Chains A and B, each alone.
Chain A
């Protein structure tokens, strides 16, 4: 172990870990001076308040600097200590590199409390404030619109895409990820993701519980790239996915769910689904009507809610009350199957009675599958798959589950292989935004069906555009529990067009090499890139979110173009321009339009 030999006379320390170069000032507290191309950060890494008293900077003492490099990793750490009143603090700041272009920054702290009685400790991280203030800082899902940072990306899972700072050219980039898979399990990164989301690092004060042993307070992954922001996303994606067991998605027996582009929500109590004169379900008409949308891939039958609770009948008993008991469902399922449509019924976890268990529901489901040959179970209000149901797939390997909420945590993402991407809030003035769903790009093998049940009019238009922009399927839900909110003829045509291209270009839309929000040449458009690992062919989804028509160069393309074609949206007069060594995509995109362009590269 080597101590302090890296510190120069001015108490500066400069070092490199692979592609990360940084400079720290250890004179009073620990100041981050430089980080690669980011100069003059010049801010403390941390400050500590104990029972509302700020520990002065001059109280800190550098105890030791440790550096080690071998073939597997490089580490540099700085140990410090401080006495404050009757308490004694020790801390360590470390940088660890095990993978190329990924460096862990770790900040740890411990306390020896006077009379062993812990005190309230609040931490601030001033260096994050300065990073955040950098003019080229983009929090996850942000883009520059020419004047300011605006959010055009969403995610809703316990993986946090990195914030990114780039140089002025956009080539050199640093990504900062604050790992936060389960926020209650430890001190680390508490409140940081929230602070990023709300642009609130100045206000961020994290309360931590300190003991004699060093506890992790910040675990920040730093991603480095000299090839722009897209590379940072790729590194994060690769690193994040590495720990997941995604075998279930690649089980050939379950592959049908990946092509479940359009799911029809069949609300039983209405003339869309039920013929009151003949007293039977209009399955043939439903299938026929579905062709206007491009054809349903699955139907979700819905008759329990809002009827459950009128008496003690549970969710399974309600099937017995349908005409001819299970036979009604069986007949509908058979008709659906003859049209290559899969059939789902829902599960209502909120209806589980005190004398029922998930195992008993699994048994009921098993009986139902045997009696009716249904293909899937829709998990109402859920975003996880109970183990009791997981066992069903051992008996019925092609049986699928689809949840109302997108799974958020690792175990759920691994076991639940399909879900809705549901947006909308009935209680607010909800506007359907066209933005990029990061989950779609992180786990492209997980099919999502977009739905916003209460959206009407222009919001329904936006919903279709949002589905096109993210290359995802939809839920066709027109009868919202007795409120009739149909799609227009034009909207049906647009969905039909979308479905046909999702089907035709499936391997690119669901390819493993897709990137959200790639760099564009216009400040008022956003673009997703869909491709598989071969990279010979890509689909670009482009949205003009500005208030003027966009005309001219849209994208700089990576390779020579062999063929190109606009495959979705109003005609945008797409062209390719080659100038010196650069190749550009040109288009005229109307305000609010989403277009999709398929390009074959000359590789």
Chain B
């Protein structure tokens, strides 16, 4: 598989009106879903989600080992799948990588701005859903650059579908801990009681209720990094 550069894209600081819907059927998602004004600082953002190749390189260089390795990289990354997004990583695993590359995970607000932009697009590529521009209801993960035509306003690719992406932070509501996931994935479970899968709109997040790391890792869950910029 031919490798490629996961270059960084500059996002100029801006203010925008954040408004998000959450996908959970029952229960609550105790965050401020807006509409509210948010300020995005100058950022650099990965064009693609972090790939297996990038993550493998990180492991090789750092010898990173999670404290709890249950399901960590369960898919066993190898050269054949180097261009696929890295999955089976917890938020801690993602943060460890991001720190090493000098970045961090995007906040929920930043992620939405990177995907929707100042025009508040519903989907990374526009306002109409197009399953040909993303890995929606596919059978497996695809290379992060397989849907380049589905890039967002700033040039980020694979923001909707293929794999869910971690955002920064663990939210506490006094009784629960949860993280917010973005973008949806290729996997589209058959029943309405399942997590609403498939490619998801820019304005949707899903509340992943945190448990042990084995439960926090999934075959459809990866990440991309952002970097604070001057």
Task: List residues of chain A with CB under 8 Å of any chain B CB.
Answer: 268-272, 274, 276, 279, 303, 305-313, 318, 320-323, 348, 350-351, 353, 381, 426, 479-484
- How many angstroms from the CA of A484 to the CA of B220 in the assembled complex? 28
A-B contact pairs, 6 of them (CB 8 A): A268-B211, A272-B175, A274-B211, A306-B25, A348-B193, A483-B27
Contacts of A306 in B (CB 8 A): 24-27, 193, 195, 209
Looking at the complex, which one of B175, B192, B195 makes contact with A310 (CB distance below 8 Å)?
A: B195
Question: Which residues of B in the span 186-230 have a Cβ within 8 Å of any Cβ on A?
Answer: 187, 189-197, 207-212, 214-215, 217-221
- Minimal Cβ-Cβ distance residue in B for A454: B26
Looking at the complex, which one of B207, B208, B215 makes contact with A321 (CB distance below 8 Å)?
A: B215
- How many angstroms from the CA of A292 to the CA of B173 in the assembled complex? 24
- How many angstroms from the CA of A348 to the CA of B194 in the assembled complex? 10
- How many angstroms from the CA of A320 to the CA of B214 in the assembled complex? 8
Contacts of B221 in A (CB 8 A): 310-311
- How many angstroms from the CA of A276 to the CA of B172 in the assembled complex? 11
Contacts of B214 in A (CB 8 A): 320-323
Q: Is B177 an interface residue (CB 8 A)?
A: yes
Looking at the complex, which one of B189, B210, B219 makes contact with A269 (CB distance below 8 Å)?
A: B210
- How many angstroms from the CA of A308 to the CA of B221 in the assembled complex? 13
- How many angstroms from the CA of A270 to the CA of B171 in the assembled complex? 12
Given contacts A306-B26, A311-B221, contact A482 B176 (CB under 8 A): yes
- Minimal Cβ-Cβ distance residue in B for A479: B175
Q: Is B178 an interface residue (CB 8 A)?
A: yes
Looking at the complex, which one of A276, A351, A381, A482 makes contact with B207 (CB distance below 8 Å)?
A: A482
Contacts of A481 in B (CB 8 A): 24, 26-27
Distance (whole angstroms) from the CB of B30 to the closest CB of chain A: 8
- How many angstroms from the CA of A307 to the CA of B185 in the assembled complex? 14
Cβ of B193 and Cβ of A279 under 8 Å apart? no
- Minimal Cβ-Cβ distance residue in A for B217: A321
Distance (whole angstroms) from the CB of A477 to the closest CB of chain B: 12
Cβ of A480 and Cβ of B209 under 8 Å apart? no
Cβ of B193 and Cβ of A305 under 8 Å apart? yes
Q: Is B28 an interface residue (CB 8 A)?
A: yes
Interface majority SS (helix, strand, loop, mixed), chain B: loop
- Minimal Cβ-Cβ distance residue in B for A280: B212
Given contacts A321-B214, A482-B178, contact A309 B195 (CB under 8 A): yes
Cβ of A482 and Cβ of B211 under 8 Å apart? no
Contacts of B197 in A (CB 8 A): 309-310
Known interface pairs A481-B26, A482-B28; 6 further A-B residue pairs with C-beta atoms within 8 A, sorted by A's residue number: A269-B211, A271-B176, A274-B211, A310-B164, A310-B195, A323-B214
Contacts of B187 in A (CB 8 A): 309-312
Distance (whole angstroms) from the CB of B217 to the closest CB of chain A: 8
- How many angstroms from the CA of A353 to the CA of B24 in the assembled complex? 21
Distance (whole angstroms) from the CB of A242 to the closest CB of chain B: 39
- How many angstroms from the CA of A311 to the CA of B189 in the assembled complex? 8
Cβ of B175 and Cβ of A308 under 8 Å apart? no
- Minimal Cβ-Cβ distance residue in A for B189: A309
- Minimal Cβ-Cβ distance residue in A for B220: A311
Cβ of A351 and Cβ of B191 under 8 Å apart? yes
Q: Is B70 an interface residue (CB 8 A)?
A: yes
Contacts of B210 in A (CB 8 A): 269, 276
Distance (whole angstroms) from the CB of B166 to the closest CB of chain A: 12
- How many angstroms from the CA of A481 to the CA of B175 in the assembled complex? 11
Cβ of A480 and Cβ of B26 under 8 Å apart? yes
Contacts of A274 in B (CB 8 A): 211
Given contacts A279-B68, A322-B215, A323-B212, contact A483 B28 (CB under 8 A): yes
- How many angstroms from the CA of A323 to the CA of B209 in the assembled complex? 16
Interface centre among B68, B70, B71 (most CB of A within 10 A): B70
- How many angstroms from the CA of A303 to the CA of B215 in the assembled complex? 10
Cβ of A313 and Cβ of B218 under 8 Å apart? yes
- How many angstroms from the CA of A484 to the CA of B175 in the assembled complex? 7
Interface centre among A311, A351, A426, A483 (most CB of B within 10 A): A311
Cβ of A311 and Cβ of B185 under 8 Å apart? yes
- How many angstroms from the CA of A150 to the CA of B209 in the assembled complex? 45
Cβ of B70 and Cβ of A323 under 8 Å apart? yes
Question: Which residues of B in the span 60-79 have a Cβ within 8 Å of any Cβ on A?
Answer: 68, 70-71
- How many angstroms from the CA of A426 to the CA of B25 in the assembled complex? 12
Question: Which residues of B in the span 126-185 have a Cβ within 8 Å of any Cβ on A?
Answer: 164, 173-178, 185
Contacts of A482 in B (CB 8 A): 24, 27-29, 176, 178, 207, 209
Distance (whole angstroms) from the CB of A289 to the closest CB of chain B: 13
Interface centre among B24, B27, B196, B218 (most CB of A within 10 A): B27
Cβ of B176 and Cβ of A308 under 8 Å apart? no
- How many angstroms from the CA of A307 to the CA of B176 in the assembled complex? 15
Question: Which residues of B in the span 13-30 have a Cβ within 8 Å of any Cβ on A?
Answer: 24-29
Distance (whole angstroms) from the CB of B209 to the closest CB of chain A: 4
- How many angstroms from the CA of A308 to the CA of B196 in the assembled complex? 10
Cβ of A484 and Cβ of B176 under 8 Å apart? yes
Contacts of A313 in B (CB 8 A): 218-219
- How many angstroms from the CA of A479 to the CA of B26 in the assembled complex? 11
Distance (whole angstroms) from the CB of B193 to the closest CB of chain A: 5
Contacts of A308 in B (CB 8 A): 189, 193-195
- How many angstroms from the CA of A32 to the CA of B24 in the assembled complex? 58
Interface centre among A269, A272, A480 (most CB of B within 10 A): A269
- Minimal Cβ-Cβ distance residue in A for B195: A309
Contacts of A276 in B (CB 8 A): 177, 210
- How many angstroms from the CA of A248 to the CA of B218 in the assembled complex? 42
- How many angstroms from the CA of A11 to the CA of B177 in the assembled complex? 81
- Minimal Cβ-Cβ distance residue in B for A380: B193
- Minimal Cβ-Cβ distance residue in B for A269: B209
Given contacts A279-B68, A321-B71, A480-B26, contact A271 B175 (CB under 8 A): yes
Cβ of B176 and Cβ of A269 under 8 Å apart? yes
A-B pairs, top 8 by smallest CB distance, nearest first, are A309-B194, A481-B27, A309-B189, A269-B209, A309-B195, A482-B27, A321-B214, A311-B219
Given contacts A322-B215, A323-B212, A484-B175, contact A350 B191 (CB under 8 A): yes
Distance (whole angstroms) from the CB of B122 to the closest CB of chain A: 23
- How many angstroms from the CA of A381 to the CA of B191 in the assembled complex? 13
Contacts of B71 in A (CB 8 A): 321
Cβ of A350 and Cβ of B27 under 8 Å apart? no
Distance (whole angstroms) from the CB of A358 to the closest CB of chain B: 16
Contacts of B177 in A (CB 8 A): 276
- Minimal Cβ-Cβ distance residue in B for A481: B27
- How many angstroms from the CA of A313 to the CA of B209 in the assembled complex? 16
Contacts of A272 in B (CB 8 A): 175
- How many angstroms from the CA of A321 to the CA of B191 in the assembled complex? 22
- How many angstroms from the CA of A350 to the CA of B195 in the assembled complex? 12
- How many angstroms from the CA of A321 to the CA of B208 in the assembled complex? 15
Cβ of B25 and Cβ of A484 under 8 Å apart? no
Contacts of A484 in B (CB 8 A): 173-176
- How many angstroms from the CA of A126 to the CA of B37 in the assembled complex? 66
Contacts of B185 in A (CB 8 A): 310-311
- Minimal Cβ-Cβ distance residue in A for B197: A309
- How many angstroms from the CA of A128 to the CA of B107 in the assembled complex? 67
Contacts of A311 in B (CB 8 A): 185, 187, 218-221
Given contacts A303-B211, A306-B26, contact A350 B193 (CB under 8 A): yes
- Minimal Cβ-Cβ distance residue in B for A272: B175
- How many angstroms from the CA of A279 to the CA of B92 in the assembled complex? 14
Looking at the complex, which one of A270, A322, A353, A479 makes contact with B212 (CB distance below 8 Å)?
A: A322
Contacts of A320 in B (CB 8 A): 214
